[in-house]
Amino acid sequence: MKPYQQIKIQECHEPLVPIPLEIFATESPHPYQKLGAPYHLSQAKSPYFLRQKVLDSLILAQTNLQQNYPGWHIQIFDAYRPIYVQQFMVDYTFAQAVKAEGLTLDSPSLTETKRQEILELVYQFWAAPSLDPATPPPHSTGAAVDITLVDASGKTVNMGSPIDELSPRSYPNYFSDRPDAEDQKYHQHRQLLAEVMLSVEFQQHPQEWWHFSLGDQMWAWLTSQTNEGGKVVARYGRFED
């Protein structure tokens, strides 16, 4: 169990609503759909959904961004993720990590010890596809969103590492102390993204520069650490699809 999963959930039953994609940047087809992720099993049929107030705040974040950076947009990589899509992506990521080790899933060299080592790496970045109502994956609540930025020319802003990379380069402040000018540019881009999102009360995943949430357990856990009033509870649990 991760620390944020100990946070109590008081579900508010706010609806899951479609993201108006015409006002944001997106990648089409969706990256996980290209891999075969089973969104067709979902009532939504799409990852581009969020809880209503989360969406409202995301729209406000983009408005704030454009005040200082006219023509820039938030690019939505991923949002709502049903449990079975979470399971698909964990399995896919595990298989890719095994392949990166020069192994196959049925290789005798993939010992139980090695399997556990790779699984631990995967679960550093991917939440377990839990069906327990007390420990939902963040994206399955409709309160988490993976994003980056697109500049006024329509070019995706370089953050120094791709979304979903299983490495320390994914940590938000990875480039902060690096003297290279290019690395500092990556850090500035990440800071801009975080500032825009935190300005409207999102919280950023400590290990993923792209992941932000508002109202779920991770958000409540991170908010509680800086909240003088004490612990904050989550208002979004797993969306029953």
d(CA 10, CA 32): 30
Residue 27 annotated as catalytic: no
What's the CA gap between 20 and 1, in Å, rounded? 34
H helix count then E strand count, the chain: 6, 7
Q: Are 215 and 54 in contact (CB under 8 A)?
A: yes
- Give the distance between the most distant pair of CA atoms in the chain: 57
Q: Kindly name the residue from 22, 120, 195, 208 that is annotated as catalytic.
A: 208
- 3-state SS of 68-84 is HCCCCEEEEEECCCCHH
3-state helix, strand, coil in the chain (%, to 5): 40, 10, 45
Which residue bears the tokens 């540019």? 185
Q: Residue 144 and residue 85: Cα distance in Å, rounded?
A: 15
Residues assigned a catalytic role: 208
